[in-house]
Each structure stands twice: as C-alpha cells, then as structure tokens.
Chain A
Amino acid sequence: MGKDRDTALISDCKRGDRNALETLIRRYEKPIYNAAYRMLGNPDDAADITQIAFLKVFENLERYNPKFKFFSWIYRIAVNESINLLKRRGHQEPFDDKQASNLRDPEAMVDAEHLCDCVQEVLMELQEEHRAVIVLRHFSECSYHEIGEILQIPDQTVKSRLYTARQIMKEKIKARGLVGK
C-alpha cells in the first residue's frame, strides 16, 4: 500500500492539508538527504538539495502523474539537482586533504567512521553517472527498474553502468587496502 499511501498523501497535499505535507516530508526527508549527501559529500549541500527537491515537488504537485511513483520523482529531482550543483561548481567537491591522508593509514581505518569517510572519498572520485547508480542501488536500495525510472535510462543501461561503477570502485577501494587483502 506504499504507493497508495503516497497517492492519498499527495491528494491531501493538493487540497492544502499541512499535516499531509509534513508527513510526506517526514517520510522522504532522510532518504533524500542521504542520497544527496552521498552524491555531494557535504552535509550542508545535502540539506540544500533536500530543500530544493521538496520545494520543486510542491511547486509542481498539480502536474504530478500518480501513474509514476512519487519516490522516483523526488529522487530524480534530488539526483539531478546534485549533479547540476557539481557541474555549476565545475569540479568535484574536494575531500579534506588531511582527512584523506589519514584514510590511507590502515590503523586509522579501523573504526566505522573512518570507513564511511573512506567510502565517501572513493564515491567522490567516481564520475557522477557512476556515483548515482551506486548511491541508488547500495544506499537507497532501489531496484534496476526503479533506478531506471529515476535516472530515465533503460534497465539494461542501469545494469551495465552499475557493473562499470562497481568495477572502478572496487579497484579504488582495493588500492586503499580495504578489499582483496
């Protein structure tokens, strides 16, 4: 009933029900924020993108087609806005050098926080299209078909892009001594 619940919520949102609006935000705020964070590597940017995504959704609510999943729509906006932000800046958001050098120290990598930082560092080294499929598959747990809907690419392209992204990521992680030991 997940999709139906979204449809009911959106219907109420369209009628100006603030409570429905708040519920929709509560439901998707965290996944969207996390997807944006993994795309951008920066919590402030992730918060900005989350706000932009919700604002765009509600500005275009009248045009929402319930045939499509709401979550695909809002994820699409969040991923596209993240990529646009990276492009506007013209370069990848630099990961702090000091932090990066610590990450290459095996002893410093033992705790979970450093592990997360290391993975994020590698994610930021991927091309945006590869990063997007990794984020949607492994962090947002979307299926091939859902990723295809979000990125508006065929399922087969999702699959091949995901394979390539994993291959690149595996080599980078391996170079840091975290896999293939």
Chain B
Amino acid sequence: MNEHKYMDLIQAELDDQLSDGQRAELDTLLRESAEARADREEYRDLAGLLRQVSSRQPPESLRQSILAQIELAGRQRPAPTAWAIPAAARTAMAFAAGIVVTIGLFRLAPVDIGPTDTRTLVGSMVRNQPLNYEFPRDQLKFDLGTGQGSVELHRNNNLLVLEFELRSARPMNLELEFAGQGLQFEGFAHQSATPPTLRVSTEFIGVTASGDQSFVVFLAYASEKDAGSGASIELYFQFAGGQTHRAVLTDR
C-alpha cells in the first residue's frame, strides 16, 4: 500500500479536487485498507471540526474607526487620494481626467421615462403590508447608451420600495446589495410578459432582464433600530456583459 498515494487522494477529497478517476482509485484503496479508512475518517473529522467553528462578529465600532482613520490619513496628505478635497473640486477633477463612470454619469445624463405605474404590477410579498407613500426618498435616472432607466426609492414604515423602469435591447444584469444593514427581501412585482429572472440571498438580489421592464423590489428593515439608521442600497448595472456601473440609493 502506498501511503502517500492515499493520503494525497484523501486530502484532495477534502478540497473537492478529485477527478472521477481519482475518486475510483480512492474507493479501491479504501476498500483494501483499514488504515486508509481510519486516516480518511480522521481527516473528515478534522474538516468537520473546522466547519463547526463559527465566525466572529467584529466590534461594532470597528467600521467607524476604520473610516475615521482613513479620512484622517486623507486629510494629512495631499492628492492623489481625494478624501480631503471638497466635493465640487473632486467632481471637476474627475471630469478633467475623463473619469466618466458610475453615479456621476447616471445623474448627469437624465432621461425622462416617467414613474412606474404600480397598479399594473403583478407579484407577491412575503407579508401583506399596506402601501402608502408619496415622495421618493432617493431616485436616479440614467442613460448609458446600451440601456436607459430610472429607479426610485420609497419608504413605507419599515418597508423600502424600489421601483425600476428599465429599457435595454440587450441582456442586463442588475444587482442590489444591502449586506449588513438589517434589511431583508420582502417581495417582488413586475409588469412584463417576459419577467426578469430573480436571484435572492440574504445580502443581495440579482435581476437578469432584457427589453422594457417595470418592476418593484420590496425590502424590509428587520428592526426598529435598523429602520432608524436608514440604509444605503448599492446598485450595480451591467449591460450586455460590458462595464459594470455602480450607483447608490439612500433612505434619508
């Protein structure tokens, strides 16, 4: 029995690196050797033990402390990093340098698509909540050539309602990220014969769509405390596999 051989295979198995041929080889070795079976069991126990170790939550103050340190460092030294430069000057510098990506582009190239008519949407919500809202908390409009659209963020008690109006002849990927903000997915509604494909996790929602789309994503704050903090939702748009554009909607 070649001990090195079966040890290699056992370890490769732990890392999901076994080919079909190696799998068959390992099975044979395990059938033939009690020692190999015992070793494999121990390695699997070790891997199981490591899986049981839970991750630790960083101190609550850590994020603010990191931000404060970075901003302090930015103030203590001149450009190239722009933390200490006033917003207007930053924008001017960005344009002078030809930096035309993400939110600046979104807000500076408005298109008039008009508000979503939510009465014609179909879909479902996790819980039945009466909707009663007026002015958007935040909104953006964009024209990226390959796609146009608008998004509005509304707030209704502990519910956030994101209304999307998108136009794109080509496939579009959209991701909404809301990790660490006490938000959870609450529902989705759309108005299209070919509805978008939805992927939902605890930290983000992915939408794949093409053509004209009107849809609404509902998110809910998990607690009063979270609702009081107000969330920022990251939006990432990618049209036809091109550059990813980022924007942020803030519940303010």
Contact = CB atoms under 8 A, between A and B. Distances in A.
Interface in B52-102: 52-59, 62-63, 65-67, 69-71, 73-74, 80-83, 85, 87, 90, 94, 99, 101-102
B248 to A, nearest CB: 5
A115 B46 CA distance: 12
B179 interface: yes
B44 to A, nearest CB: 9
Interface stretch (B20-28, B125-133, B142-150, B231-239): B231-239
Interface residues of B, number: 62
B62 A116 contact: no
Interface string A67-85: 0000000000000000000
Given A58-B81, A178-B45, A23 B232 contact: yes
Contacts of A14: 81-82
B173 interface: yes
B246 interface: yes
A11 to B, nearest CB: 6
Given A21-B70, A180-B45, 9 more contacts: A5-B244, A17-B103, A20-B246, A23-B234, A26-B179, A43-B56, A50-B66, A59-B73, A173-B46
Interface of B: 7-8, 11, 14-15, 17, 38, 41-43, 45-47, 49-59, 62-63, 65-67, 69-71, 73-74, 80-83, 85, 87, 90, 94, 99, 101-104, 173, 175, 177, 179-180, 232, 234, 236, 238, 243-246, 248, 250
B170 to A, nearest CB: 16
A1 B175 contact: yes
